[in-house]
Every structure is written in structure tokens, then in C-alpha cells.
Amino acid sequence: MIISDCRIEKNADYATLLAEVCFENNDKPPLTLNISLPRSRENMLQCSFEPFLLGAFPAALLHSEHRIHIEGNLCPYLKSNLEAAMRLQKHWWFTKDHRLPTITAVSYFPTDLTHNDRAPACFFSGGIDSISALLTNAQTFSTDHPMRYKYALLAFGLDIGDPNREIPSGLFERALAEQDKLAQELDLTLIPIYTNIRDIEPDGKFYETMHFAALLSGLAHALGNRINSSAIASDLAAEYLTSWGGHPSLNCFYRSSYQDFLTECHHLDRTQKVGLVAQNETALASIRVCYNTDHIDNEHINCGYCEKCVRTKLALLAYGKLEHATCFPDSTIDIDKLRLVNMKDILSVEYYNERLADLLEQRGHHNYSDVVRTINGTPKLTYRIKRFIIAFKKAYWRIADRQPT
């Protein structure tokens, strides 16, 4: 893989950082990768190769490229870190004989960005994790503290703009409008970023397991003229951490001489995070958890019925705040959809934990608490019987090759 011709181009609306990427050992077509900001934010862009190396190296690793060569200068600290990251990724996901690409460049000098007006940022997807990170930071640090976030970053081209889905009309603009309300309340500047870096390998599983954290760090590096560190919220509480694209042991390697990269909020599980978000009315309106973007109507930012929406609504119900969550089309929860949830991985253990079941039970939602306990493997006897009856009926109609009336 060769990464070349890093440059900034401008038009009336956007300033764009670009680079050319060419695979050497695969027949994948060459790409022009881009990262764009509104012209009003063009002074944030740092013209360097690091953003594209971070966005491209996981694809080079996946496709067994022999090398990743930078036709320009590269931060040697980032080079060493990414070599370590690839060793860890190989250990997690590849065989012992899988080849790691070597990283080379024309020159190796640390980038010296010492502007006094550089400040921390946090990625703000609108999900429960990211909102809880923003709220925790605001509660922990005063506005003049060097670790207090100054910027919130929302990117188009990741879940909104997913290359595998149709782009819904106006969804990104609606998300910006809702999330900017919370950003302003927390004294943050919301920065929209537009990128096509996922095009280098659009596969969704690849994005989740190997790509997304590195890509996000790359976007933050592109804004290095005004950002000195960026954070993403952890998917999981500390005890649930597993080999994953956003694992802090991996994310710590996505930093350079001029940009730190942090993973926050390991001290809260998902139910606790929802409880934190539920305390803030503005945050409740800005929740955007839905990846089912091609099924969201033209007035909302969530579909309301996919598994992610349903489990978020369930947690809000447990805190008595579901009716306040205007981010969803309605406040109904399909209990039959919950019954179809399978405990496939450790994520489900955290999402449907005993804390959630207890909160639901305390509010009198025994039908939902029973379902949660069944999902996490600790159902009460009465609900075990219900589940058996449901399974028996399904098996009967399948054998009878007919549908129930």
C-alpha cells in the first residue's frame, strides 16, 4: 500500500484534506480518501499523512499488504505505536503466519504543534456511550481545566453515511441540530466532519472489530491544528472488556507526537450510563442509537424498533424517563422483539444485566424484568415456564407447516 499526495483543497463550502491510496498486493482499486470540514472551520485542518495512515493501515493488515509506504513525512512515534497495534491485532484475530505490513516513509520527524489554543475533543455520535462521556467530563472538570473537552466531533460517513446503506435524507442535519443543543449546554463547539475513509474496506464486521477507533483517531489527527487530544467512550465497563475494535489496550497505540487518543467511561456499565443520560432533559432529546439508518423517518433520528432502539427505550423505562425521550417516534416497547434477543456475546451480558432487571422490577414492569433475566441467563421459574410454552407453540406451528391464526 502506498499513501501519497497529501493536500488540502477548498471550495465555497468545504476545506478538504485528501490523500491517494493504492494497494500493491491486491487488485483493489486506488482511492482518493478525504476528510472535510466546513470552510468556517478550515483553520483546524492539519496537512499531514498521519490521518490517512490511521484510516488505512487496518485494511492493509486485513488484506496482507507487504508494506505501507508514506510518500512524505511520518511521525516516528505513531509508526512505533501502529507496529505495536498490528502485533496485538494479529494476536487477537489472525493466524501466527499472517504477515504484518512494514511501515515506511520518506522521512521521520515528529510534528511540533504547540499552539496555545489547542484543546481536547470527544467524539459525539449521539449514542449513550458518547453522551455519558461528555456529561462525565463536564461534571469532573471545570471549564478552564486542561482536560475539559472544548470540541465535540460528529462524523458523516461512519454510521450515517455507511457505505453499505442508502443515505437517509436530512438525518445528519437533524442529528447535528439536536446534538448541538447539548453541546451548547455543556459549553462545547460541535464540529461536523465528512469522510469517505470507510470506502477503503466497507465491510461492517471489519469496521467494528478492526477499523473504527483507528479511523476516529485519524479524523482527530486531521484536526490537529486545534485539537491536542481526542476521546471516545468505551463500549463496555471494565469487567466486560474483550478483544474489540475499541479496546483501550488497542486505542492507546493510536496516538502520535501531536495527538493523544483516550478511551473514557470504563467505570460505568450501560445501565448506569443510561441513568446518567436520563438526568439531563437536553441529552434525552439528542440520543441517537439507531444504526438502522435507512428505516428512520424524516422527522426523527432513531427508527424506534430495531434491537438497539428497543434496549435503549427499555433502559429509559427503567429510570422512568422513556416518555421524555423525544428522540424516538414513540414510547412503545415490543416485548416480542425482546424475547428474540439471543445472548451471542459479552455485549449482551452488559446491555441486559441484573441492574436493569432490578430497576424494571422496582417500577412494577415485571414482564420486562422477566425477559431481561431470561436474556442474561437468570430467569425466574414463572418466566421459564412462559418461555417453554412459547417455544413449544413455535415448534408446533413449524412442524404443522402453517401459521397460527
- pLDDT tens digits along 107-128: 999 987 766 789 999 999 999 9
Choice among 259-268, 297-306, 319-328, 346-355 with the minimum mean pLDDT = 346-355
Q: Is residue 282 part of a domain?
A: no
Q: Is residue 213 part of a domain?
A: yes
320 and 395 both lie in a single domain = yes
Q: Is residue 280 part of a domain?
A: no
Q: Which residue type is seen at 22?
A: C
Q: How many domains does the chain have?
A: 3
Residue with cell 470540514: 37
pLDDT tens digits, residue range 25-64?
999 999 999 999 999 999 999 999 999 999 999 999 999 9
CA-to-CA dists, residue 402 to 54, 370, 390, 399, angstroms:
53, 29, 16, 8
Q: Is residue 271 part of a domain?
A: no
124 and 259 both lie in a single domain = yes
208 and 165 both lie in a single domain = yes
310 and 219 both lie in a single domain = no
Q: Is residue 285 part of a domain?
A: no
Domain span at residue 358? 302-400
147 and 28 both lie in a single domain = no
Do residues 131 and 286 make contact, with C-beta atoms less than 8 angstroms apart?
yes
pTM of the model: 0.90
Last residue of a domain, one of 218, 235, 264: 264
CATH (domain of 227) = 3.40.50
320 and 356 both lie in a single domain = yes
Choice among 140-144, 150-154, 325-329, 378-382 with the minimum mean pLDDT = 378-382
Q: Is residue 68 part of a domain?
A: yes
Task: Give pLDDT, residue 319.
Answer: 97
181 and 238 both lie in a single domain = yes
CA-to-CA dists, residue 121 to 85, 104, 227, 233, 405, angstroms:
23, 29, 7, 12, 55
Residue with cell 475539559: 148
Choice among 268-277, 349-358, 382-391 with the minimum mean pLDDT = 382-391
196 and 331 both lie in a single domain = no
pLDDT tens digits, residue range 208-228?
899 999 999 999 999 999 999
93 and 179 both lie in a single domain = no
Tell me, rounded to whole angstroms, the distance of Cα 345 from its chain centroid: 18
Last residue of a domain, one of 83, 108, 133: 108
Last residue of a domain, one of 216, 246, 264: 264
80 and 180 both lie in a single domain = no
86 and 177 both lie in a single domain = no
149 and 206 both lie in a single domain = yes
Q: Name the nearest CA neighbour of 24 among 66, 57, 55, 53.
A: 66
Q: Is residue 327 part of a domain?
A: yes
pLDDT tens digits, residue range 175-196?
999 999 999 999 999 999 999 9
Q: Is residue 335 part of a domain?
A: yes
